[in-house]
């Protein structure tokens, strides 16, 4: 038996000999499932149909106490903390990719996951190994009993912090789960904070106005620590500016301190120019010269599609610039490579081009609008069939107001999530908008029917929730094993 230690105290056992690979796989699956079963014994608000966002339920003090018992692992490395309604996952992935290309060991914590729970905790683009995950769950169990009312998300967040400490990361990019002010991740002392696009979502939890939602998100701003913000609607921007001023935090705003301009785009990717405000005179001369001048602004290429991803890229670039000011050495070529090589599936992702099949995680009216604009931009007037499923607490009417004028037919389905809405109810809402619709379950059957109906004349769009996006990708991979093999090779 050979013990191969990872940094810290985690280790994996590699056994060699007849039959041992199968034995290792059995041990791994069993240990991993037992760890998940343990975590899900606790309150998991993401699975709850209705709850009230309140200090009684979301108490940062118990998170601080629990982390103190674990040795405060979240204070062992610099953190870039990312909140927002939309785009925070994409911005987090972009930041982690650039920092990794710059030579840093990078932790990335996001939620929810697409396919496997371990995706939430990554180091250098690789998910935490299942055996390491199970090992850490067993490690924290004695301390869990000493802190009442811990939740599944709080425990998972602590596991991420602990894993990053054990792997000795140079920096961690931490995505907020929900809100910001009372989110379990908001115990960090960030190198810098980032607030992506704010819009109406989780209104019953975060508040019924954009001002209230912005106040919750801006709760991640810490005294004296810089903050970067995406372009915001005026009322949200005013809140971010006020909170930053109260904390004496230097605020960098995309659209004011940094600018961007999308350039070429296709279903293979897009490019954009990005520049600081003090280069505006140079950009003006570049534009006047019809792009033929010797100087040009920085041009970035990203595989992520849609105008909103250009906004996210500009936000990530402004955050990278701020991180550089805070002492991180990030060469220009690392920025270029990091943006070009980022991986963030399930967001206007092209699964197939003939017929065109696109999967997206749009789950509120604002993201539905961004999806519709992307469809107009990339598909022109091509007909589209929408495979749609959503949680019952979502504003489905608001999403349909944006999407249904652009699609020719709705195939309503559902994921396995406990909050998933009955497809027949989705059909009824579709009919209110005068759109032909039918309910088809399970989801795999719905996708195959949509592809068959599309033929060579229409595109298939799957959207409504991250759970639907994940299920569509899994169905597609099962029917296209070469795709699953290619994705596995990319992760190695």
Classify the C-alpha dihedral 159-165-167-171 as positive or negative. positive
Phi (first) and psi of residue 92, to 5 degrees: -60, -45
pLDDT value, residue 488: 44
Segments in the chain below pLDDT 50: 1-16, 18, 21, 48-53, 55, 203, 484-492
pLDDT value, residue 440: 97
Q: List, in order, residues 6 or more apart from 71 with CB less than 8 Å away.
A: 165
Q: Where are the domains of the chain?
A: 1-344, 349-366+373-491
Homologous superfamily of 1-344 in CATH? Mur-like, catalytic domain (3.40.1190.10)
Residue 348, classed as helix, strand or coil, is: coil
pLDDT value, residue 240: 97
pLDDT value, residue 48: 47
Cα 95 to Cα 97: distance, rounded to the nearest angstrom:
5
Q: Which residue has the tokens 């789950």?
A: 363
351 contacts 359 by C-beta, under 8 angstroms: yes
pTM, entire model: 0.89
pLDDT value, residue 55: 46
pLDDT value, residue 481: 60
Would residue 432 be called left, alpha or beta, if left means φ above 0 and alpha means ψ between -120 and 50 degrees?
A: alpha
pLDDT value, residue 53: 46
Torsion of CA 313, 318, 319, 323, to 10 degrees: 140
Of 393, 432, 425, 427, nearest to 411 by C-alpha is 427
CATH annotation of 349-366+373-491: 3.90.190.20
pLDDT value, residue 25: 63
């Amino acid at each position: 038996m050979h013990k191969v230690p990872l940094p810290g105290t985690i280790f994996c056992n590699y056994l060699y000999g007849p039959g041992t690979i199968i034995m290792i796989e059995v041990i791994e699956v069993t240990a991993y499932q037992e760890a998940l079963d343990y975590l899900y014994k606790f309150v998991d608000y993401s699975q709850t149909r209705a709850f009230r966002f309140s200090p009684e339920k979301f108490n940062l003090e118990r998170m601080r106490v629990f982390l103190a018992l674990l040795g405060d692992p979240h204070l062992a490395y610099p953190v870039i903390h990312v909140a927002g309604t939309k785009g925070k996952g994409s911005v987090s992935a972009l930041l982690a990719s650039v920092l990794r290309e710059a030579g840093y060991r990078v932790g990335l914590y996001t939620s929810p996951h697409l396919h496997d729970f371990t995706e939430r905790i990554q180091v250098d683009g690789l998910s935490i190994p299942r055996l390491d995950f199970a090992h850490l769950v067993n490690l924290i169990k004695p301390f869990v009993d000493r802190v009442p009312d811990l939740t599944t998300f709080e425990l998972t967040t602590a596991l991420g912090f602990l894993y990053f400490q054990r792997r000795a990361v140079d920096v961690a990019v931490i995505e907020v789960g929900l809100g910001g002010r009372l989110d379990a991740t908001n115990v960090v002392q960030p190198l810098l904070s980032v607030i992506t696009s704010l819009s109406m979502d989780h209104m019953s939890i975060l508040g019924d106005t954009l001002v209230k939602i912005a106040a919750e998100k801006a709760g991640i701003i810490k005294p004296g620590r810089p903050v970067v913000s995406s372009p915001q609607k005026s009322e949200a921007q005013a809140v971010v500016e006020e909170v930053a001023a109260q904390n004496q935090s230097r605020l960098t705003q995309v659209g004011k301190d940094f600018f961007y301009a999308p350039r070429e785009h296709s279903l293979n990717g897009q490019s954009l120019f990005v520049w600081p405000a003090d280069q505006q005179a140079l950009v003006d001369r570049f534009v006047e010269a019809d792009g033929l001048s010797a100087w040009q602004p920085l041009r970035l290429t990203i595989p992520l599609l849609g105008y909103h991803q250009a906004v996210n890229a500009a936000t990530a670039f402004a955050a990278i610039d701020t991180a550089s000011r805070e002492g991180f050495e990030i060469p220009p070529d690392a920025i270029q490579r990091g943006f070009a090589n980022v991986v963030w599936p399930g967001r206007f992702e092209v699964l197939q081009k003939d017929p065109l099949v696109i999967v997206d995680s749009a789950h509120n009216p604002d993201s539905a609008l961004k999806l519709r604009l992307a469809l107009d931009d990339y598909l022109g007037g091509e007909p589209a069939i929408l495979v749609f499923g959503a949680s019952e607490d979502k504003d489905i009417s608001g999403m349909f107001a944006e999407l249904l004028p652009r699609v020719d037919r709705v195939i309503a389905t559902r994921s396995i999530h406990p909050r998933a809405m009955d497809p027949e109810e989705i059909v009824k809402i579709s009919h209110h908008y005068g759109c032909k619709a039918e309910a088809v379950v399970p989801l795999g059957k719905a996708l195959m029917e949509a592809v068959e109906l599309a033929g060579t004349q229409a595109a298939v769009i799957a959207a409504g929730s991250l759970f639907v996006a994940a299920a569509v990708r899994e169905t597609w991979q099962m029917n296209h094993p070469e795709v699953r093999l290619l994705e596995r090779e990319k992760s190695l």
